Structure 1
Amino acid sequence: MDSFTPLTLNDQDIIKPYLLKAGKAANEYSFATLYMWSGIYHTDFRIIPCCQDRLLLIRSRRDIAEPFHFLYPMSLNGPVAADTALKALYAVSGDVPFIVGALSEEEAGQLAAITAVPVDVQPLRDSYDYLYHASDLAHLQGKKYQTKRNHLNAFINAYPGYESRNITPENIPACLEMNDAWCRLMGCNQDVGLGQEACAVRRAFSGFEELGLEGLMVLIEGKIIAYTLGELLTKNTWLVHVEKAFPEFRGAYQAVNLLFVRYAMEKYPHVEYINREDDSGDMGLRNAKMSYRPAFFAEKYMVRFNQPTTP
């Protein structure tokens, strides 16, 4: 019998300690990420006894015809050995094919090495998170950021009276109104991906305080023209979940990006890196993220297990 439990906001106190213990800088290890997208990916979880430990298993799938997609099993006692992880995964999956994703190259290699049957191991370039030096994004210094500075200066010169404010529960409705207007402009109703993202944004705002999210909005003449949401993911990494701006305001994206990074660095002096998540295979988004010169990627691999075996 399947004893997995659908992930809800009330499960944060159970799940978040495991995610923090994993210590990974990938966005999948944020409870906010899991919750935001759980309505799309039908995310659920289970804690099982295994090898004198209690392991958290998180799985998801968008469609019932797809195999379940698991994160690497997690323990409150530190890293989980590959043979233990595989034993737990087979215990809950039985004869059904499954995928383990958001893996480091090392984790993927270790899982593949101990299986008794061939498995499919693939890098997931579309899911690589982009991580940047915080100081680079906060100052945009040097020739490599000249174009960014040009856009930023154009914004400052065109809108010298702009305001930057922290998002509070009181102004969430106004942010949602801005997001709805952005969606109408960008055609969310015709784009499945944008439509799903809009749903995820609404879930983020619905749990804004409980999730510990922080946000910043940029206003011109009292109107929100850009906003962003994020959180402290690890001691030295700030994770940006959402960033929206009306395209008619040249430099608005550059402005809200820079202002939010400065906010994070001031509030959390240990922040060294900014994780701006993946590009989902969108080439326009990939070019935009590459133009900010990432320091490195949080590379991700998947291992597809098509046949049952005993580890």
Structure 2
Amino acid sequence: MKFIINDIELKKLDISAKMVMEKYLLELGEDQVVDISDYTFAANFIWLGNVSGFYATIEDCFCLFAMSGSELSMLLPPLGKLKNLKKAINKCFEIMNSNNSSPHYSRIDYVAQCILEKFAKMLDKNASIFDVFADFIFEKKLVDYIYKADDLISLHGNAYHTKRTEINKFKNTYPNFKIVTLEPEKHAQEIITLSNTWVQNRLKYTPKEQMDDFMEGMYQEKAAIKRMLEYHQKLELMGIVLYIDERLQGYTVGEKINEGVASVLLEKTNFEVLGCAQFIFREFSKILSSQYSCEFINVGDDMGFENLKKVKMSYHPYRLNTKYSIYQKI
């Protein structure tokens, strides 16, 4: 599936686009290392189940678009050599504006602050991003939460006292646990069942005013889980599952963003098994550190949910990486 706008061919984002996107991610990494979880093929591919993803090569950059209804936006800034960034951004807005019913729908999401700053400094060491991109409006949307792997493993000090206590209670209460490598052909149905149970339990505690947003998020996550299971090997994902008395009670899935940083893409545990979430997160952190040599672990953003923000802040992130949405001034 493909279509053409302004003589630019937009191709459907399928698994065959993995090598193309990763080529341009490597080129970007030569200019600026990006630790944000959205900057991988897998992170975008598995979450594009409910919208149509398209890509094009524009100004020698990989440009990832999403079609929602009939309106076109971008899920990332143009990827590739930074010298091509601004020209590619301008052309991408031309494409979006030509397609969309209003230029107000045209935007670029998940733009890493570090990319904009590096591009500005390449032009002038004293320049700010607001000087270089004067024709655009920047909206600070979300931050990625990034931790030192060693902190998540050791849980030293008073700041992590509660986490240590929860893990110890879990191990004492459920001595018959085991951690095994996630294998979709073995664990798919149990993972889907646990995920459905998690949603049912979470609904009981979701405020009415947040219900629509919650259900939309869960619909997207359900599709992402199915894609993760279907393409797990091709996407080079890594994951573990947690059994208690031979019953699957938790799972987590991640990937490497770059050589020193891993991300956690999905995680679910039985809502009623206290300490389960803290335990599996720590165990996965150990694996990411020891087997994959990751010094830092990125758990993504909080999607704007206050309860999720509290949980992620409770682990005391080493840094918060800012992401912007960019709009063109009209």
Same fold, TM exceeding 0.5? yes
Map residues 244-255 of structure 1 onto 2, 5 A cutoff: 244-255=268-279
Tell me the equivalent position of 2:74. Answer: 69
CA distance in 1, matches of 2:26, 2:180: 29
Q: Is the 8 A contact 1:128 1:300 kept in 2?
A: yes
CA distance in 2, matches of 1:241, 1:121: 26
Gap regions ≥5 residues in structure 1: none
Q: Is the 8 A contact 1:20 1:234 kept in 2?
A: no
CA distance in 2, matches of 1:242, 1:165: 16
CA distance in 1, matches of 2:73, 2:192: 32
Cα deviation 1:264-292 (Å, max 9, x = unaligned): 111122x1110000100111110000000
The Cα of 1:5 is off from its aligned counterpart by 1.3
Map residues 173-192 of structure 1 onto 2, 5 A cutoff: 173=188, 174-187=190-203, 191-192=215-216
Aligned residues: 296
Gap regions ≥5 residues in structure 2: 121-128, 204-210
Identity of aligned residues (%): 24
Farther-moved stretch of structure 1 (10-19 vs 199-208): 10-19
Cα deviation 1:221-252 (Å, max 9, x = unaligned): 10010110001111100110011111211100
Tell me the equivalent position of 1:301. Answer: 324
Tell me the equivalent position of 2:155. Answer: 140
Secondary structure of 1:39 counterpart: coil
> Residue 6 of structure 1: which of 5, 12, 29 is its match?
12
CA distance in 2, matches of 1:82, 1:14: 17
Could you state the TM-score of these two structures normalised by the residue count of structure 1?
0.87
> Residue 243 of structure 1: which of 267, 271, 284 is its match?
267
Tell me the equivalent position of 2:305. Answer: 282
Cα deviation 1:71-119 (Å, max 9, x = unaligned): 22122xx3234432334324534555221222233555756534674x3
Q: Is the 8 A contact 2:74 2:108 kept in 1?
A: yes
Q: Is the 8 A contact 1:227 1:256 kept in 2?
A: yes
Amino acid at match of 1:186: R
CA distance in 1, matches of 2:290, 2:22: 25
Tell me the equivalent position of 2:61. Answer: 55
Q: Is the 8 A contact 1:172 1:205 kept in 2?
A: no
Q: Is the 8 A contact 2:201 2:271 kept in 1?
A: no
The Cα of 1:213 is off from its aligned counterpart by 0.7
Secondary structure of 1:191 counterpart: helix
Q: Is the 8 A contact 1:108 1:121 kept in 2?
A: no
Q: Is the 8 A contact 2:146 2:320 kept in 1?
A: yes
The Cα of 1:70 is off from its aligned counterpart by 4.5
Secondary structure of 1:300 counterpart: strand
Cα deviation 1:31-73 (Å, max 9, x = unaligned): 111111112232210113x3xxx22111124343x55135221
CA distance in 1, matches of 2:272, 2:259: 36
Secondary structure of 1:27 counterpart: coil
> Residue 177 of structure 2: which of 149, 162, 170 is its match?
162
CA distance in 2, matches of 1:202, 1:101: 24
CA distance in 2, matches of 1:41, 1:108: 27
> Is 1:129 aligned with 2:144?
yes
Amino acid at match of 1:40: N
Q: Is the 8 A contact 2:93 2:328 kept in 1?
A: no
The Cα of 1:263 is off from its aligned counterpart by 0.8
The Cα of 1:183 is off from its aligned counterpart by 2.7
Amino acid at match of 2:53: T
